[in-house]
Amino acid sequence: MNFDLTEEQLAVQAAARDFAQTELLPGVIERDEHQKFPAEQIKKLGELGFLGMMVDPKYGGSGMDTVSYVLAMEEISKVDASASVVMSVNNSLVCWGLEKYGTEEQKQKYLKPLASGEIIGAFCLSEPEAGSDATSQRTTAEDKGDHYLLNGTKNWITNGNSASVYLVIAQTNPEKKHKGINALIVERDSPGFVVGPKENKLGIRGSDTHSLMFTDVKVPKENRIGEDGFGFKFAMAVLAGGRIGIAAQALGIASGAYELALKYSKERKAFGVEISKHQAIQFKLADMATNIDAARLLCLQAASDKDNHRDYAKSGAMAKLFASKTAMDTTVEAVQVHGGYGFVKEYHVERLMRDAKITQIYEGTSEIQKIVISRELLKN
Ligand code: CAA
Ligand code: FAD
């Protein structure tokens, strides 16, 4: 496999790096501290085409490949994982799902403003009692002829209070189990739809995580994605690609922490020399760099599988499993390299360490990635 980047991919990477340094870095500590959603920065990311990166330009997107998306996600996540999760959800769950499975009317009405960054979207699968066990949907979408009546609660929804469009997974025919589930497009101002309070989180504190309550929300039939009963397959298909985005987010968190640790190790002196001269520190840097390179290769492999229409459920899950562990291990060691300074906010590594943890939980925990990988391995 050849991972030499094209001119276009390098340009996307450079643009994302520049945006992260100039627009995201100033204020990232304050946004984390006060749990402030990066609204202005997200608007600018949309204007630059980073919110609908892989969408066809005829629907307002940038028409780029998944490799470019991975490169951009890494650069943005090096600095601000709260911003990159907004980007990941909008690009790979909401926009990709609508472009791949939506009707032409749904694309015109919803995908266009989502891909151009005019509005952002949310993907609503998890519930208080259905996280990893995603088929156990308690939210119901009762078939009422020309519309569905939506009732239930969704938990932990990223962009919960900032989105204008929500892709909601709900059970229509419980007797058909996962084959009775539907995916519905719900508008923010639908009567009966209430956004719950913001979660107070360990990491990605700038992102906007809420529970959502639906009480007799009327959703027109034309807002169903795919055939009746396609909702669970839709969620699984969307998540297979989404996991590549979260893998790239984890990679970015790891490489951001590594770059800070490398720089600091050459500045800080102890026992008369830079700490980078101590073998214990050198070995930490060697482990970090090796794991980061391996994580990057897995991310690029999964992205390349998707771009070349090969199956990417396994390679995406492998990338997420490995990159998220790399993010956790690397950020913990980056704090260690910084000593006491690593424990305070202005050196950034403590935030990266807190942000890293979520990459092992959302879009399928590490245990779930192992289920996905092993099922694929044992398929034949
Ligand atoms: N593409 C299409 N269909 C797929 C698929 C894929 N990649 N993977 C599975 N399916 C289909 C199966 O073929 C099956 O359909 P059929 O019966 O018609 O063949 C159906 O989905 C059910 O599959 P399983 O029998 O494997 O289902 P399961 O109950 O054993 O669960 C699971 C499998 C992998 C554990 C799944 O429940 C899962 O992925 N759980 C984790 C949920 C998750 O990732 N949530 C993330 C929420 S979004 C989020 O977190 C966003 C964010 O943070 C930013
Ligand atoms: P559980 O499923 O209860 O898991 C608890 C533990 O048991 C985990 O360690 C898990 O790995 C383990 N476990 C469960 N089943 C098995 C098994 N079969 N084998 C081995 N181990 C198992 N969801 C959305 O739909 N949309 C979003 O936008 C979204 N954003 C999120 C943002 C944040 C900040 C957070 C925290 C979560 C978000 N989620 C979102 C939900 C997320 O996807 C779930 O939290 C995740 O899938 C795990 O589900 P759970 O929390 O119910 O944990």
Q: What is the pLDDT of residues 185-243, one digit of tens each?
A: 999 999 999 999 999 999 999 999 999 999 999 999 999 999 999 999 999 999 999 99
Q: How far is the CA of 87 from the centre of ligand 1 (A)?
A: 22
Could you give the percent of the chain with pLDDT greater than 70? 100
Which of 132, 135, 199, 374 to probe ligand 2 with, by most ligand atoms within 8 A of CB?
A: 132
Q: How far is the CA of 155 from the centre of ligand 2 (A)?
A: 10
- Is any ligand 1 atom within 6 A of the Cβ of residue 361? no
Distances (CA, A) of 373 to 5, 43, 238, 321: 27, 36, 16, 10
| Ligand nearest, relative to CA of residue 157 | 2
| Ligand nearest, relative to CA of residue 230 | 1
| Ligand nearest, relative to CA of residue 364 | 1
- Is any ligand 1 atom within 6 A of the Cβ of residue 305? no
The overall average pLDDT reported for the chain is 98
Is the pLDDT at 1 greater than 90? The verdict is no
Is the pLDDT at 121 greater than 90? The verdict is yes
- Is any ligand 1 atom within 6 A of the Cβ of residue 123? yes
CB of 217 closer than 8 Å to CB of 193: yes
Residue 125 alpha carbon, nearest atom of ligand 2: 25
- Is any ligand 1 atom within 6 A of the Cβ of residue 99? no
Is the pLDDT at 325 greater than 80? The verdict is yes
Mean pLDDT of 278-290: 98
- Is any ligand 2 atom within 6 A of the Cβ of residue 89? yes
- Going by CA atoms, what residue is nearest to atom 50 of ligand 1? 363
| Residues taking part in catalysis | 363
